[in-house]
Amino acid sequence: MKNNSSESRRNESDPFDLLFGCDLAGPESPLEEFLEEKLLPLLDLKTVSFQRQFKVSTTGGKFRLDYALKCNSVYLGLECDGKEFHDTEHDLWRDALIIGDTEITDIIRITGSQIYRNVYCCIYLIMRIYPQLFIRNERKRVSSLAVEELRDWLSGKKERHGDIADFSYERDDEVSDMPREVSEKDIEGSAYITRRKSQLSQLAPLIAFARKNKGYNISQLIRLYG
């Protein structure tokens, strides 16, 4: 027999029921489980709504984002990319459709290899863009954890990934206490993430084209556009 009292207490304290509806399902892959283990304790779940496998509907089809996070005007999609499961051109069109047709205002993609190698550097970069998603008292700890990973990377213990696109950070003195021997550019180089909001000039023509060709799926749109 179901314990209604226990179930009620669990739902009352569940942080995932702030916007999207209660999400009690667990992560779908070991990669997502690893990221959640590091990320969730740092999010301010009193004000941030969080959902796994968030479903969206666009003119080019229905999709699922690995994660959706909502806080005030921020409506962020977060994707964990394993190389064997993702196609760059397809993902670009998919993200353009989602940003153009839904309430999602930004999508951040993180490669699986970077999550495993430099997870706190990845989290730090997300925090620099959207500090309001994180518990205020935990922000400096994120910086410290990222610096610890970064020191390993700079000393050659971890493989360098290369440069990434420029980011626009929200100023927050609570998370900007980088030691002298490291810099945010170092962190950017150690943890490759893709931020779609910084690529809006590239997404805009795809969004416009998709709106003129409603009903076509991504493969058809790519063929027509090319």
Average pLDDT value for residue range 139-150: 85
Distance CA 133, CA 135 (A): 7
Distance CA 2, CA 65 (A): 32
Distance CA 174, CA 168 (A): 17
170 pLDDT exceeds 70? Answer: no
Q: Do the bridges between strand 193-195 and strand 61-71 make them parallel or antiparallel, or are there none, so unpaired?
A: unpaired
> What is the total residue count of the chain?
226
Strand order in the sheet with 193-195: 49-58, 61-71, 74-81, 106-111, 193-195
Q: What is the pLDDT of residues 48-87, one digit of tens each?
A: 999 999 999 999 999 999 999 999 989 999 998 876 556 8
Q: Are 29 and 36 in contact (CB under 8 A)?
A: no
Distance CA 152, CA 129 (A): 24
Distance CA 213, CA 89 (A): 18
Distance CA 108, CA 128 (A): 13
**More confident site: 217 or 5:** 217
- Give residue 177's pLDDT band: very low, low, confident or very high (50, 70, 90): very low
**More confident site: 60 or 28:** 60
Lowest mean pLDDT among 89-93, 113-117, 163-167, 173-177: 163-167
Residue burial 109-126, b: 16+ Cβ < 10 Å; e: rest: bbbbebbebbbbbbbbbb
Distance CA 124, CA 104 (A): 21
**Is residue 210 within a helix (H) or strand (E), and if so which, with residue range?**
helix 200-212
- The pLDDT of residue 191 is 57
**Is residue 88 within a helix (H) or strand (E), and if so which, with residue range?**
helix 88-101
- The pLDDT of residue 118 is 85
224 pLDDT exceeds 80? Answer: yes
Q: Are 82 and 112 in contact (CB under 8 A)?
A: yes
Q: What is the pLDDT of residues 78-112, one digit of tens each?
A: 998 876 556 889 999 999 999 999 999 999 998 88
Q: Are 81 and 111 in contact (CB under 8 A)?
A: yes
Phi, psi of 104, rounded to the nearest 5 degrees: -60, 125
- Give residue 30's pLDDT band: very low, low, confident or very high (50, 70, 90): confident
- The pLDDT of residue 84 is 56
